[in-house]
Amino acid sequence: AQKVTQAQTEISVVEKEDVTLDCVYETRDTTYYLFWYKQPPSGELVFLIRRNSFDEQNEISGRYSWNFQKSTSSFNFTITASQVVDSAVYFCALSGVRSNDYKLSFGAGTTVTVRA
Partner 1 sequence: KAGVTQTPRYLIKTRGQQVTLSCSPISGHRSVSWYQQTPGQGLQFLFEYFSETQRNKGNFPGRFSGRQFSNSRSEMNVSTLELGDSALYLCASSLDAGPETQYFGPGTRLLVL
Q: Is 64 in the site for partner 1 (CB under 8 A)?
A: no
- First-to-last alpha carbon distance for the chain, in angstroms, is 41
Q: Which stretch binds partner 1 (CB under 8 A): 12-20, 33-41, 57-65, 74-82?
A: 33-41
Q: Which stretch binds partner 1 (CB under 8 A): 10-18, 20-28, 58-66, 94-102?
A: 94-102
Q: How far is the CB of 14 from partner 1 (least distance, A)?
A: 27
Q: Which stretch binds partner 1 (CB under 8 A): 8-16, 56-64, 72-80, 93-101?
A: 93-101
Residues that bind partner 1 (CB under 8 A): 33, 35, 37, 42-47, 50, 91, 95-97, 99-109
